[in-house]
Structure 1
Amino acid sequence: MFFYGSIKYSNISVGVVCFSLAGFFTAIFSPFVNRRKLVVSELLLSLLTLAGIALIFSFDSRYRAGIALGVISSMLGALYTITNERLAHVHESETVTVYSMIGGALGLTVLMPVYVYFFPVKSMIPSWSDFGYLVVLALFCTVLLYMLQTQALNRISAFTVNLSLNLEPVYTIILAILIYHENKELTSTFYLGLGLIILSVVLQMTKVFTESRRAVRDLVS
């Protein structure tokens, strides 16, 4: 809800970039939730992402409400992934996904009357084309995605999963530019901030691959 609210109050590019803060919140929350030591490298990479968000935050005051909603969205997303990391080692990914989707559906159903009260709409029945898009969004972009994410958490950490999602702004912004021509609304400061976010992802992926090779080398030796 906060993620789509962020897009509505800003635009697609700003909304997905704000979601990149999930890595930062994961580095902060995970040591407390999982009762482990704070990993300095994770915190430094997250601060790099935070610097990118700070640059983007300052580029246009019109989008600050959307950015605030996006930050809340990334915080909740980080907590969701951290929780799933613990559940993935105990339950099957299909089981975790079913309960997550049922909980989300019930929660949205309860909140729907409140939303309609403050934001009345002419009709709540989607058109056939909208219904088709909703089916694709529900099955492929939500259920399948979360199931694969839960399976991935058996092998990699919640921090790596969330930081890898920082690549989402790259292809999303490309699509937003091609479809909605959002490049007319974005400045050089925005792209500089985006560059810092991409750099943090590249550094983390390099760290993960290096550690994997070292583990394989130690196993062989």
Structure 2
Amino acid sequence: MRKALLQLHTAVFLWGFTGVLGRVITLSQVWLVWYRLAITVVSLWLLYAALGKIRRLPLRSAGYISLIGSILAFHWVCFYGSIKLANVTIALTCLSTTGLLASFLEPLVMKKKFDFVEIGLGLFAIAGIAVIYWNHLEFSNGIIVGLLSAILTVLVSVLNKKMIDQYEPEAITLYQLSGGFVGLSLALPLYLAVFPEPAQAPVAADWLWLIVLSWVCTIGTFFLYIRALKKVSAFTMNLTLTLEPVYGIILAFLFYQENRHFNSWFYVGFALISVAVLFHMWRLLRPARPMLHGSEGNT
């Protein structure tokens, strides 16, 4: 159990670290994601071929999973775009609202009833974002793009629920990331027409950090996460995942001293978001906690 918890926290910490890498890599957001996906997809196909883990999926399912991968790629573009337009802290603060945004999107996509308490918590979090927005207007574009990033990652999670029980996680990951690379490549001409910029190639230092981002923070974290899931409960997993923005913000403060860019109103807004997220998690997991706690003790 201790090893599984270490694996899970390491994966979540590395996910938080991707924000730091997004700032240090000099490429613009779209080229950063394109190279990240290119390195990751080529590496995964070679790795799975060597391990004999490549599985054929029905054409319709493969197309559906690939479409989700394209949405994931656009989420990454928006996430790194938020970092470039504002900073790591703003991007991760927006990302911390995903659980609450899911309360709005999931009922729409899955055709479930709305939970009005969760809607109230969502409005509480939106109030926190509004406080940050109006008191840090220099980061307004970054906040808008960061919220779009959060919406897209929620959409990916909701759509993945329809596939997660049908196929192995390894197969879903392979086809999803491959679909993301193809989808982003096809969308690249349109993106560059709307947001003109020259084609970019990584400098020497960028290649190093792109490899770290692809091999360690994408492929490595996936395997750590999957192995941890075999041991820890859903309660522990969901609770630990809420630490991703916390880890990332702490790293941004340590590496870039981003705390110097914020006044006291940022912390008021972040506190509102944090209270909403924590209460949402407590409400979501409280009924299952006794049973899940018992299951943890048996592993």
Q: Shorter-chain TM-score category?
A: 0.7 to 0.9
Q: Which of 142, 166, 170 does residue 246 from structure 2 map onto?
A: 170
Q: Give 1:48 shift.
A: 2.5
Residue 63 of structure 1 pairs with residue 63 of structure 2 = no
| Paired residues, number | 211
Cα RMSD, aligned residues only: 3.0
**Structure 1 residues 31, 52: CA separation in 2 closer, same or farther (over 3 Å shift)?**
same
Q: Which amino acid aligns with 1:135?
A: I
Residues 83 and 142 in structure 2, CA contact (< 8 A), matched pair in contact too: yes
TM-score, normalised on structure 2?
A: 0.61
Residues 52 and 192 in structure 1, CA contact (< 8 A), matched pair in contact too: yes
Q: Give 1:41 shift.
A: 3.4
Q: Which of 109, 121, 137 does residue 33 from structure 1 map onto?
A: 109
Q: Give 1:101 shift.
A: 0.3
Aligned equivalents of 1:145 and 1:176: distance in 2? 20
TM-score, normalised on structure 1?
A: 0.80
Residues 92 and 248 in structure 2, CA contact (< 8 A), matched pair in contact too: yes
Q: Which of 21, 26, 30 does residue 97 from structure 2 map onto?
A: 21
User: Which residues of 2 match residues 69-84 of structure 1 at below 5 A?
Assistant: 69-84=145-160
Say which SS state the counterpart of residue 97 (structure 2) adopts: helix
- State the identity %: 33
Residues 166 and 197 in structure 1, CA contact (< 8 A), matched pair in contact too: no
State the match for 2:197 in structure 1.
Answer: 119
Aligned equivalents of 1:58 and 1:168: distance in 2? 25
Residues 7 and 14 in structure 1, CA contact (< 8 A), matched pair in contact too: yes
Q: Give 1:93 shift.
A: 1.1
Residues 78 and 145 in structure 2, CA contact (< 8 A), matched pair in contact too: yes
State the match for 2:19 in structure 1.
Answer: none
Moved more, 176-185 or 37-46: 37-46
Q: Which runs of 5+ in 2 are unaligned?
A: 1-76
Moved more, 203-212 or 85-94: 203-212
Q: Give 1:15 shift.
A: 1.2
Aligned equivalents of 2:271 and 2:111: distance in 1? 32
Q: Which runs of 5+ in 1 are unaligned?
A: none
Q: Give 1:14 shift.
A: 0.9
State the match for 2:63 in structure 1.
Answer: none
Q: Which structure is higher in RCO with an 8 Å CA cutoff and minimum separation 6?
A: 2
- Deviation per CA, 1:70-101: give whole Å up to 9, x if none: 11111111100101122112221111111110
Residues 81 and 145 in structure 2, CA contact (< 8 A), matched pair in contact too: yes
User: Which residues of 2 match residues 37-48 of structure 1 at below 5 A?
Assistant: 37-48=113-124
**Structure 1 residues 91, 44: CA separation in 2 closer, same or farther (over 3 Å shift)?**
farther
Q: Which of 161, 165, 170 does residue 85 from structure 1 map onto?
A: 161
Say which SS state the counterpart of residue 89 (structure 1) adopts: coil
Say which SS state the counterpart of residue 135 (structure 2) adopts: coil
